[in-house]
Amino acid sequence: MTKKKNKPKSKSDGPGPPPEQPKRLNKRITYVYPRWNKAVSTAVSPYIGRVYFHPGVTDRDAIREHETHVMGKFTCSDKSCKMKAWSSKMISIVIQKYPGNEYNAIIYNQRCKKCNNLGCLHLDKECYIERVAYRLKQWAGLMMEKPYYAEKKGPPHKSKLCEGCKRGVCRERDGD
């Protein structure tokens, strides 16, 4: 009969809470969604043909550019922060058109009003597709009826928490 060796217990073994994990704060200032290109292309292809997501996030080669907003929700990247989540109808987005029926859309992050850390974005996909498709069709020369947006309800835009405002690309900059 062989004896089993008892291996030493790690800090996570046994009773009590697991060891504290180091904070992993979000450091993303911007987001892009190339995986949603198929949906954008489907929305515009009957009118302007197929579109392609431009891989770069520079405006150096952009033919046109438009600042607007999309909607979504954020969660605070600091798990110990009391502000768990917030929603926004004023998430800054810059849509850019490039040669060859290419585009990209750069979405700017927001900061938590409690701890000032960057949030983790959960973007409203339908809103994103609608805004990008509208702009691409308009740039292609289609006569578009201006979409109706309900009057803003909710707290005012806070420029100091908006990364788009800090970079001069948010339409609401200096709105506080």
Q: Is residue 119 part of a domain?
A: yes
Q: Is residue 77 part of a domain?
A: yes
Q: How high is the pLDDT of residue 14?
A: 46
Q: How high is the pLDDT of residue 10?
A: 44
Structure-token match 């339908």, residue found: 126
Task: Note down the domain range covering 122.
Answer: 30-144+159-166
Q: How high is the pLDDT of residue 56?
A: 78
Q: How high is the pLDDT of residue 151?
A: 64
Q: Is residue 128 part of a domain?
A: yes
Q: Is residue 23 part of a domain?
A: no
Q: Is residue 20 part of a domain?
A: no
| Global pTM value | 0.81
- What is the number of domains present in the chain? 1
Which residue from 61, 167, 49 is spatially nearest to 104, judged by alpha carbons? 61
CB 119 within 8 A of CB 76: yes
Q: If the chain, 176 residues long, is cut into consecutive pieces of 10 residues, what is the mean pLDDT of each piece?
A: 50 48 72 96 96 85 94 92 92 96 96 95 97 97 80 78 95 68
Q: Is residue 66 part of a domain?
A: yes
Q: How high is the pLDDT of residue 145?
A: 83
Report the relative pairing of strands 30-31 and 85-98 from DSSP bridges: unpaired
How many CA atoms does the CB half-sphere of 113 hold within 13 Å? Answer: 9
Q: Is residue 174 part of a domain?
A: no
* H or E element in which residue 93 lies: strand 85-98
32's CB contacts (< 8 A; 6+ apart) are 53, 57, 104, 105, 106, 107
Question: In whole angstroms, what is the distance from residue 132 CA to residue 42 CA?
Answer: 12
Q: 137 vs 9, 49, 93, 132, CA distance in Å?
A: 63, 10, 17, 9
Q: Is residue 104 part of a domain?
A: yes
Q: How high is the pLDDT of residue 166?
A: 95
Amino acid in position 80: S
Question: In whole angstroms, what is the distance from residue 89 CA to residue 72 CA?
Answer: 7
Q: How high is the pLDDT of residue 160?
A: 94
Question: In whole angstroms, what is the distance from residue 173 CA to residue 165 CA?
Answer: 5
